[in-house]
């Protein structure tokens, strides 16, 4: 017999990538998850140890390798043993590049900004 397999939506939920199993299933059915480079459209697709999953999470694309299949949705420390993270490290970009941490501009600064905008027109 072949090695053990588990539904992809159930594994993503057990590994704590999604809060609910239905959210995981929705990502898979929406075509947002790739299994070994191939797009998966069915939440019942089986995954096993050695498979590589690629999916979006928040504002980043996660790449994880399935290391083990879980028995239950346990604590985060237990869930982290189910996979190894292959996501490439990205440089941290500030969310607002114009903000220098000085807070709100002063009245004098706002007048200068307004004047520069009028001159550009």
pLDDT range class, residue 58, cuts 50, 70, 90: confident
Q: Rounded mean pLDDT of the chain?
A: 89
68 touches 49 (CB < 8 A): yes
80 touches 86 (CB < 8 A): no
Given a cut of 70, whether residue 99 has pLDDT beyond it is no
Q: How many residues in the chain?
A: 121
Q: Which CATH class is domain 1-88?
A: alpha beta
30 touches 16 (CB < 8 A): no
How does DSSP classify residue 85?
Answer: E
Q: Per-domain residue ranges for the chain? A: 1-88
Between residues 91 and 41, which one has the greater pLDDT? 41
- Residue 37's SS3 state is coil
CA distance 90 to 108: 38
Predicted local confidence at residue 96, as pLDDT:
58
Within 13 Å and on the Cβ side, how many CA atoms surround 94? 6
């Amino acid at each position: 017999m072949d090695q053990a397999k588990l539904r992809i939506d159930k594994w993503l939920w057990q590994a704590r990538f999604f809060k609910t199993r239905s959210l995981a299933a929705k990502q898979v059915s929406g075509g947002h998850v790739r299994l070994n480079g191939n797009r998966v459209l069915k939440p019942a697709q089986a995954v096993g140890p050695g498979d590589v999953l690629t999916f979006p999470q928040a504002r980043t694309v996660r790449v994880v390798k399935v290391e083990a299949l879980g028995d239950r949705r346990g604590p985060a420390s237990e869930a982290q043993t189910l996979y190894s993270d292959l996501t490439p490290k990205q440089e941290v970009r500030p969310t607002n590049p114009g903000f220098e941490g000085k807070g709100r501009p002063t009245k004098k600064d706002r007048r200068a900004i307004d004047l520069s905008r009028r001159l550009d027109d």
